[in-house]
Amino acid sequence: MNISIFIILRDMNEEYKMVIANEDLVMLLLGTIAFILAFVDLSQSAFSFPSLLLFLLGWGIERFRRRPLPKQVLKAKLFYLAPVKIIRNYVLYQIILLNGLYLFGFEKSSFEIRTGLIFLYLALIIVSIVELAGNVRIPDNLVIIPEIETESEEVKKKKRFQVLYGAKFITWIIFSSLISIGILSLSIISIVNSNSIVVIILSFLILLPAGVTYYYHYYEAIVKEHSLDVDYLLKATDYYVESELPKLAYELLYNFLEKEPNNIVALGKLALLYLKDGNYKKVLETTGKSLAYIEEEKLDVPHTKSRMYVFRALSQKALGKYEEAYKSVNKALTINPDNMVARKLRRELRAIVKKKEIDSNQK
C-alpha cells in the first residue's frame, strides 16, 4: 500500500471557523499609490506600468472574489505565501519611497537608484504572478491528500479539504521567492552604490513595515475573532457545499440562526439546502417560518417571498401534494409574475392536476 502524505493541519474542528482577510483592500491602495508615483519618471515606464498593472489586476480580481474561507485554509494560504507576501510588501514600500523622495525633491534620481527601481519592478512582476496563482487560479479547496491506492475516489474527494495546495506549488513558491530575493539583492546593491546615506538607511528600515504589514493581515485573519454577516454567510455555505462538506454548511447556518432566528436570507439558504438534499418536510417548515415572519413584520421583499413559495411548491410536488403545490406556485406568480421557474412549474402542475381530475372522473 503506497501512502503519500504531505502536510496535515491539526485542530481541524477548531479551524473550520470561517474568516476573511482584508489584505486585498490594502494592496489595492498601495498599488494605486505606487502606480501614480510611477509617472514621476517615465523613463522606467517599460518596467513600472506592466508590473504595477499586473499587481493591480491580481488584487482587483481577488477583491471581486472576496469571500470568507475556513480558518485552516486561510492559515495555510498565508503560511505558504509568507515569503512572497513579505517580499511584495518590501518592494511596494521601496517603490513608493524612492519615487516619493524623488518627487518631493529630497533625493536626486541617479543611475544607481533608477537601476534599483527597475530591479524592484522586475521582482514585483514575479511575486504578482505567484500571488495571482495563489489567490485566483488555484482553487481554495485544491489540496494534496494522503493517497492510498485502495481508497475510493469519493473518500479522496472528502479528504482533500485537509491540506491546501501541494508539493509542486510549494516548490514553485520557494523557487519564485529565491528568484525574487536574488533580483531584490541586485536592487539593494544598486541603491547602496548610489552612496546616498538617507536612501540606504530608509531602504533597510523599510523591512520593518513590510514584515509588520504581513503580520497584521495574519493577525486580522487568524488570531482576531470574527463574526460573519449574512453576505459572507452565503458565500461560506457555498464554499462548503462546493468542497463537498454539506454538514459544515448546515452547521454554519444553524449557528447563525441561533443568533438571528428570523433572518429570512439565512432561512432561504437553509431551505435551498434542504431542497437539494430532498428533505422536503424541512423545506416546508423553514419556508413557513420565513413567510410567517415576512407577513408579521410586513416586509417588502417580493422576490424573497416568491422564492419561498416556489420552494414550497417544489417540495409539495415531490411529496405528491399537487393541489397544494399548485396553490403555492400561484401565490409565487401573484407576488412576482416574472418568476420563470414558477411559470414552468405551474405548467407542469396544471397538467398533473388536470390529469388527476380526468382520471378521477373516469373512475
Domain end position, chosen among 191, 223, 255: 223
Q: Are residues 289 and 356 in the same domain?
A: yes
Quick one: 250 and 323 in the same domain?
Answer: yes
pLDDT of residue 70: 73
Of the chain, the end-to-end C-alpha distance in Å amounts to 65
Q: Of 203, 223, 243, which closes a domain? A: 223
pLDDT at 53: 93
pLDDT of residue 168: 56
Same domain, 161 and 43: yes
Say if CB 119 and CB 183 are below 8 A apart. Answer: yes
Domain residues for 60? 3-223
* Pair (239, 213) in one structural domain: no
Q: Tell me phi and psi for residue 20, to 5 degrees.
A: -140, 145
CA-based nearest residue to 70, from 12, 134, 20, 17:
17
The DSSP result for 297-351, as a single string, is HT---HHHHHHHHHHHHHHHHHTT-HHHHHHHHHHHHHH-TT-HHHHHHHHHHHH
Q: Indicate whether 191 and 52 sit together in one domain.
A: yes
Report how far residue 38's alpha carbon sits from residue 32's, in angstroms, rounded to the nearest whole number: 10
Whether residue 168 sits in one domain with residue 59: yes
- CA dist., res. 21 & res. 23, Å (int): 5
Please tell me whether residues 265 and 305 are part of one structural domain: yes
End residue of a domain, out of 169, 188, 223 = 223
Whether residue 112 is found in the same domain as residue 202:
yes
3-state secondary structure of 69: strand
Whether residues 192 and 334 fall in one domain: no
pLDDT at residue 164, rounded to an integer: 44
Q: Which helix (H) or strand (E) holds 179?
A: helix 167-192
Whether the CB-CB separation of 90 and 116 falls below 8 Å is answered with no
* pLDDT for residue 12: 37
Q: Which three cell numbers stand for residue 127?
A: 511575486
CATH code of 285's domain: 1.25.40.10
276 Cβ contact list (under 8 Å, min separation 6):
none
Polymer length of the chain? 363
Strands 69-70 and 18-19 come out as antiparallel
pLDDT of 177: 79
Task: Decide if 40 contacts 103 (C-beta within 8 A).
Answer: yes
Within 10 angstroms of residue 214's Cβ, the number of other Cβ atoms is: 22
Residue-level pLDDT at 169: 61
Query: Residue 336: what residue type?
Result: N
Q: What is the DSSP letter of 165?
A: B
Give the pLDDT confidence score for residue 147 in this predicted structure: 47
Residues 19 and 146 grouped into a single domain: yes
State the pLDDT at residue 255: 87
Q: What is the dihedral of CA 350, 300, 278, 276, to 10 degrees?
A: 110
Select from 262, 316, 320 the least CA-distant residue to 286: 262
Report the predicted TM-score, pTM, of the whole model to 2 decimal places.
0.65
Q: How far is it, in rounded angstroms, from Cα 164 to Cα 359?
A: 58
Let me know whether 170 and 313 are in one domain: no
- Total Cβ atoms within 10 A of residue 229: 9
pLDDT of residue 136: 56
Model confidence over 302-348: pLDDT tens digits? 999 999 999 999 999 999 999 999 999 999 999 999 888 889 999 99
How high is the pLDDT of residue 163? 45
Phi then psi for residue 4, to 5 deg, are -120, 115
Q: For residue range 27-73, what is the model confidence (pLDDT) as tens digits?
A: 999 999 999 998 888 888 888 999 999 999 988 887 887 777 777 67
Shared-domain flag, residues 185 and 301 = no
Domain count, the chain: 2
- What is the distance between the alpha carbons of residues 104 and 116, in angstroms, rounded to a whole number? 19
Residues in the chain predicted with pLDDT less than 50, given as ranges, are 1-15, 141-147, 161-166
3-state secondary structure of 224: coil
